[in-house]
Amino acid sequence: MTKQDRAVRTRRALIRSAAEQFEARGYVRASLAEISAGAGVSSGALHFHFANKAAVAEAVEHTAARALRRAAGQGRSGDGSALQRLVDVTHQVGRLLCADVVVRAGLRLNAEAVAGRVRDLRREWRECVHELLAEAERRGELAAGVPPHRSIAVVLAATTGIEVLARDDHGWLGRHSLTDLWHLLLPCMAAPHLAEALDPAGSGPRLVEPEPDVDVEPDAGVEPDAEVDADGPVGDASRADLALR
């Protein structure tokens, strides 16, 4: 394994461990000692990558933002009915939140406005909903008398509410919650000629494709205590992290 490979693996493990701590305890109560222990590395290895806890939180938010941006982008660029793509992308984001502690923690940190940062992780989602419903209106997919701005407000309120409720009960992220939501909304939103063709449960599985980590500098070197067994904490975190890369 090269020096850079070890640095990438350690950084991914630290981000995942930090996300687990931030989700469970919040930013203030999470400690760097617990984060480094969860990643299976020393505090020196943590500080090799991150100057302080705020920098770790920033990395968690950044990683979450990239995953959410990819999910929203897939909904915007797909084929077929704009309303069906909106349904599909809500299920996609729901699966992402259910599977990815980093995304969940990133949203929690963002809501807490940790360290005064101004990144808005929900902006991509708002823009995605806005664009898809505007497209649906242009294509005649919305029922008569349904103004897009009202539909946008309802969809955003409902999906954001599910995400907030899921902080205490991940069952809210299950497919049934979003399916029930669309069973109620689609008959009110969709044009009659389209309503029967739409699937509230989503038209098929669509996964966020993994992509390489781009946060590690090429000449990062070897951090203290970076080398750990591939079947230990870092190996597990690296494999799990593929879902969000």
Which pLDDT value is given to residue 203? Answer: 83
- Write down the pLDDT at residue 219: 41
pLDDT at position 58 is 92
Instruction: Supply the pTM of this predicted model.
Output: 0.77
- The confidence score (pLDDT) of residue 233 equals 37
**Confidence (pLDDT) at 31:** 96
| 3-class SS letters over 91-105 | HHHHHHHHHCHHHHH
Structural tokens at position 171: 């069952």
Query: In the structure, what pLDDT confidence band is assigned to residue 224 with cuts at 50, 70 and 90?
Result: low
Query: Is the confidence at residue 230, as pLDDT, over 70?
Result: no
Eight-state DSSP code of residue 191:
-
Extents of the domains making up the chain: 62-204
Sign of the dihedral through C-alpha 188, 178, 22, 242: negative
62-204 maps to which CATH number? 1.10.357.10
Band (205; pLDDT cuts 50, 70, 90) = low
pLDDT at 223: 55
User: Half-sphere exposure of residue 169, counting CA atoms within 13 Å on the CB side?
Assistant: 7
Question: Which whole-number Å values give the CA distances from 120 to 65, 70, 112, 157, 191, in the listed order?
Answer: 9, 15, 11, 16, 33
Nearest CA to 19 out of 34, 7, 5 is that of: 34
